[in-house]
Amino acid sequence: MKPATLEFVKQRFAEYYQRQSLTVPSSLEQREWGFIFFDPTAEVRMRRHMAFADPLELGAYVKNLVPAHVYYSTAYYQTPSAPTMNEKHWAGADLIFDLDADQIVRGPYAVMLARVKEETEKLLAMLIDELGFARNQIRLAFSGGRGYHIHVTEIAVRGWSSQERREIVDYVCGIGLDPAAMLTPAGVETGWRRRYGEALRAHLAGLAARDPAEAASYLAGLDGIGKRTAAEFLADIGSLAAGRPEDLLKDRVVRAIAAAPDFEERLRDAGARADEPVTTDIKRLIRTPGSLHGGSGMRVVPLDIRDLAEFDPLVDAVVFGDRDVRVDLKANFTTSLLGNTYSLNAGIQNVPEALAIFLCCRGMAEIAGGA
């Protein structure tokens, strides 16, 4: 950011923090805090290893220094302000899931936000309905950028190691599934047995609908499958797909399909696309609800699970107004904000303040005067 842009954004953030408070996590005194500031010359990008005794002390710090980003630890420490991780003495951590649209889909911002919300709803259902976590022990927040954070705060999970957390995130993402276990009869198909069976049948149906020569070429390219076997399989694919799940794996072509990368990707689509390293990291810093995201200017919004369906981040996470601000846009850009769609051309123009903050924070525009 140029100096005028930096000052404009920092002033608006300062005004926000003068009238709004952060949503303070439980056990505040056991959390480590980290901050990134509006200082392009800073040698250290993040100022961390900090602790606060109470919400007033934290609030005063944020109001006085006006950070661009505010983070707290998902972990609990005996001495959170200690300068090294070993000296902090880890005392457990919440179970965290991070869903980021960047890892799911590319496209217009509104499309990315809609898609990541679908993944968040899918993950919440898996945590509650399949893994048995209580709704009142789950905290949800819009990240202020391109995704959502899910915090499981049950005391029972706090002591889990990275490996135990890996097993949970592997489950929700559909990683490392055993085809034999997934297709073994177990009464009513639920959870991953249902998803796996549906994914496999959809994959077979897709093969049956392809050009025969193309489908045969695909099958012949699988490990251990020749052209003759591929042709025989395609001739019988309809009856095979309609048969019992446990019979599918008796066919070696199906076994080869189940091990193929494109089918594994289909399984990932059936699961929830959470960021795996975030969940396995037992000393993670995560954005603070109520803070502003320095990369978008939007608020990190705490949500009740029942409100997620109606939540629109391009309206509900926007905290700035509609007075005109003059900006110099670097390239043509179209976006939705506060219920309006803006199709902007590169160059100098007036836009609502909320949009100006968004564009400047994303590095897409500079203040052109008249702010």
Cα 12–chain centre separation: 27
- Nearest alpha carbon to residue 134 among 277, 305, 311: 305
Cβ atoms of 158 and 248 within 8 Å: the answer is no
Which entry of 39, 54, 94, 100 is annotated as an active-site residue? 100
Residue 45 phi, psi dihedral angles, 5° rounding: -65, -45
Residue 362 phi, psi dihedral angles, 5° rounding: -85, 0
Residues 6+ apart with CB under 8 A from 261: none
Q: CA-to-CA distance for 4 and 2, rounded, in angstroms?
A: 6
Neighbours of 78 (CB within 10 A): 11
Task: Please tell me whether residue 320 adopts helix, strand or coil conformation.
Answer: coil
100 a catalytic residue: yes
Q: What is the H or E stretch that residue 18 is in? A: helix 3-19
Q: Sort strands 147-152 and 138-142 into parallel, antiparallel or unpaired.
A: antiparallel
Q: CA-to-CA distance for 193 and 171, rounded, in angstroms?
A: 12
- 159: tokens are 């002591």
Amino acid making up residue 205: A
275 a catalytic residue: yes
Which entry of 102, 262, 275, 328 is annotated as an active-site residue? 275
CA distance to 5, 19, 35, 59, per residue, from 12 (Å): 11, 11, 17, 17
Q: CA-to-CA distance for 210 and 81, rounded, in angstroms?
A: 60
Cβ atoms of 249 and 183 within 8 Å: the answer is yes
Which entry of 39, 98, 129, 328 is annotated as an active-site residue? 98
247 a catalytic residue: no
CA distance to 115, 147, 315, per residue, from 105 (Å): 7, 12, 21
- 98: tokens are 């991070």
Active centre residues (catalytic): 98, 100, 275
